Amino acid sequence: MTPRYDFTRLLVTHFKECFHFYRDVMGFKPGFGTENDTYADFEVGAVNISIFDKNEMSAVLGTTTLPVRAPSQDSACFTFAVENVDAFCEYVREMGVNLLTEPTDHPDWGIRTAHFRDPDGNLIEINQQLKRE
């Protein structure tokens, strides 16, 4: 019996802001839940993303007394392909999102990338394939 990857669930402390970010900035269609809930999922393609109130999950797991977030390097990055990194960066800037990295070619990776965070601090990379010469 082999598990099947179903979706990624982000445990967030800023639920409403994250709901708006994934719906309005990233353009993902909500499949279940609203901004006034504590759980929602978004249609992203073959695999969906959901957001869930971190406090509720913590209560289920019995971890409410542990720190919410400790300073550390990122341990995950959500990566999305776009047609044009530069155009998407302009769009997210207009939506009030601050870029962590400007659009940059990485010939050794074969892609052009840029990075930013959602309202809960989750790292997001957008990329496009570089043209092969």
pLDDT for 86 equals 98
Q: Are residues 91 and 130 in the same domain?
A: yes
Three-state DSSP state, 111: strand
Of 62, 81, 99, the last residue of a domain is: 62
In the predicted structure, residue 133 carries a pLDDT above the cut 80: no
Q: Are residues 82 and 48 in the same domain?
A: no
Q: Are residues 55 and 91 in the same domain?
A: no
pLDDT for 120 equals 94
CATH code where residue 21 lies: 3.10.180.10
Q: How confident is the model at residue 16 (pLDDT cuts 50, 70, 90)?
A: very high
Q: Are residues 116 and 92 in the same domain?
A: yes
Cα–Cα distance, 77 to 13 (Å, whole number): 18
In the predicted structure, residue 23 carries a pLDDT above the cut 90: yes
Say if 68 falls within a structural domain: no
Q: Are residues 51 and 13 in the same domain?
A: yes
pLDDT (tens digit per residue) in 33-88: 999 999 999 999 888 999 999 999 999 999 999 988 888 888 899 999 999 999 99
Q: Which domain holds residue 82?
A: 73-133
Number of domains the chain is built from: 2
- Percent of the chain with pLDDT strictly greater than 90: 83
- Percent of the chain with pLDDT strictly greater than 70: 99
pLDDT for 107 equals 94
Of 15, 34, 62, the last residue of a domain is: 62
Tell me what the mean pLDDT of segment 9-23 comes to.
Answer: 96
